[in-house]
Structure 1
Amino acid sequence: MSDDQQIPFKIQTVQFDARFPNTNQSKNCGQNYSDYYKCTEARGEDFPLCQQFYRNFRSLCPDDWIERWDAAREEGRSPFVPPTTANH
């Protein structure tokens, strides 16, 4: 690809969600992450609503949160419950 060619890119923000009217979007981030995986289990990754959840959480959530949540899911744990330690 030459330097003068540009890849089309569309910047789009998450639409308003009445469940999360405040500026802090942390809960919205987590809810969209959770909804995406529930949706893909029920409908598959190509289902349009699942893709919307994906775009939303990728837009709202910090990358390190997503990485931690993905790691927890791979370990078979709930992403939103901290791991327990043996020495309490």
Structure 2
Amino acid sequence: MAEDIKTKIKNYRTGPFDSCFPNQDQTRNCWQNYLDFHHCKKAMTAKGGDVSVCEWYRCVYNSLCLISWVLVWGDHWAEGTFPGKI
């Protein structure tokens, strides 16, 4: 399974269609993938698993989110003032 994910990440171009977010505005999709990445990373680290399986979420949020948003969220994350529940 990990090889399949690595192949998908290697061939990744942009976020696939997600029926949960059918409209043109992909802000919520961006936010959800950002949170999913950090949830996945936290869970895999706690279990001692391979964190590379979480890279799919990172690829998706990097293609959907504005870079400035990701940088600000990273700053909030470092300061401990991030508004999302992870």
Question: Normalising TM by the smaller chain, what interval?
Answer: 0.7 to 0.9
Long gaps (5+) in structure 2: 1-9, 46-50
What does 1:66-81 align with in structure 2 at a 5 Å threshold?
Answer: 66-79=70-83
In 1: Cα distance, 2:83 partner to 2:73 partner: 4
TM-score, structure 1 normalization: 0.71
Offset at residue 43 of structure 1 (A): 1.5
% same residue: 34
Amino acid at match of 1:28: N
Higher fraction of helix: 2
Pick closer, same or farther for the CA change 1:40–1:11 going to 2, 3 Å. Answer: closer
Does the CA-based 8 Å contact 1:32-1:57 persist in structure 2? Answer: yes
Alignment partner, residue 46 of structure 1: 52
Deviation at 1:78, TM superposition (A): 1.8
Name the counterpart of 1:6.
Answer: none
Counterpart-to-counterpart distance in 1, 2:83 and 2:74:
7
Aligned-partner Cα distance in 1 for 2:12–2:40: 24
Amino acid at match of 1:36: F
Q: Unaligned stretches of 5+ in structure 1?
A: 1-8, 81-88
Alignment RMSD (CA, Å): 1.7
Who is 1:4 aligned against? none
SS of equivalent residue, structure 1 residue 46: helix
- Give the partner amino acid of 1:46: S
Task: Give 1:22's aligned residue.
Answer: 23
Query: Structure 2: how far apart are the matches of 1:12 and 1:75?
Result: 32
Which is higher, the Rg of structure 1 or of structure 2?
1
